[in-house]
């Protein structure tokens, strides 16, 4: 499907926690000039703004329950209908299950659209652990850094807004192990789902982020 000013691109990034999906999403968004849509971010935005969907999601989240798939797909659908998604978008953190992938496929199909590519980003456990434990986040604007691979200028404050950098409470080995177990059980089956559709491309994430971005762009037929 063509859109004015270039082809429509709908990109899905999947991979274990800490593999760098968010980092690559931001880089690809800047290069391709399409929005990066992180499920967690849009859920929090809807809750903060107390939208109808946000109120529904908040009720489940407050009680420690998983937000149902029908609410999740409603949140995603609302976001991708916005004007900035006209030429495509990058999905990070969604879909997480086969059911969500099927729902997304139906949603896109109802508009005559389909995913362009699904990138499965992989790295060994030791690299995931290093990334998670070394991650630092600006408590004001949310910019992300790393104590080894992407330091801020002085190592303590954000280069964007100058606020203090902090380590998230859940950036621990125990939390990583729990999230990896959840990923193995719920999300990893999507590899086979997207392989069957000829959409899956596996990318090794054990490299500097710029090289990973370049490989993804080449798979998309973009000159770097």
Backbone angles phi, psi at 113, to 5 degrees: -120, 165
> What is the pLDDT averaged over residues 104-118?
96
Cα distance between residue 63 and residue 61, in whole Å: 5
pLDDT digits (tens, 9 = 90+) for 128-169: 999 889 999 998 988 889 998 889 999 899 999 999 999 988
Most confidently modeled range among 80-89, 142-151, 179-188 = 80-89
Q: Distance (Å, rounded) from C-alpha 205 to C-alpha 167? A: 22
Least confident interval from 63-77, 133-147, 172-186 = 63-77
Domain count of the fold of the chain: 1
Residue 146 belongs to a domain: no
Residue 129 resides in a domain: no
| Residue 62 lies in domain | 2-124+188-219
Catalytic site residues?
Answer: 21, 96, 135, 168, 179
User: Long-range contacts of range 186-193, CB-CB < 8 Å, 24 or more positions apart?
Assistant: 186/96, 186/97, 187/14, 187/96, 187/97, 189/97, 189/98, 190/14, 190/95, 190/96, 190/97, 190/98, 190/101, 190/118, 191/14, 191/120, 193/98, 193/101
Is 131 contained in some domain? no
Confidence of residue 5 (pLDDT cuts 50, 70, 90): very low
pLDDT at 95 > cutoff 80? yes
Q: What is the CATH number of the domain that holds 61?
A: 3.40.50.300
> Could you report how far apart the first and last alpha carbons of the chain are, in Å?
23
């Amino acid at each position: 499907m063509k859109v004015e000013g270039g082809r429509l691109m709908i990109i899905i990034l999947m991979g274990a926690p800490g593999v760098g999906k968010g980092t690559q999403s931001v880089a690809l968004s800047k290069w391709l000039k399409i929005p990066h849509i992180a499920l967690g971010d849009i859920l929090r935005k809807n809750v903060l703004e107390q939208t109808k969907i946000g109120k529904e999601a908040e009720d489940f989240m407050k009680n420690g329950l998983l937000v149902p798939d029908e609410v999740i797909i409603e949140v995603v659908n609302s976001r991708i209908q916005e004007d900035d998604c006209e030429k495509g978008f990058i999905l990070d953190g969604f879909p997480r299950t086969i059911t969500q992938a099927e729902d997304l496929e139906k949603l896109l199909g109802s508009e005559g659209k389909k995913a362009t590519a699904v990138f499965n980003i992989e790295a060994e456990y030791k690299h995931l652990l290093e990334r998670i434990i070394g991650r630092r986040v600006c408590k004001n604007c949310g910019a992300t850094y790393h104590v080894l691979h992407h330091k801020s200028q002085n190592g303590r404050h954000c280069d964007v807004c100058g606020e203090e950098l902090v380590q998230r409470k859940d950036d621990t080995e125990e939390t990583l192990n729990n999230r990896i177990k959840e990923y193995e059980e719920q999300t990893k089956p999507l590899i086979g789902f997207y392989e069957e559709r000829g959409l899956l491309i596996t990318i090794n994430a054990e490299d500097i982020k710029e090289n990973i971005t370049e490989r993804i762009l080449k798979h998309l037929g973009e000159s770097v």
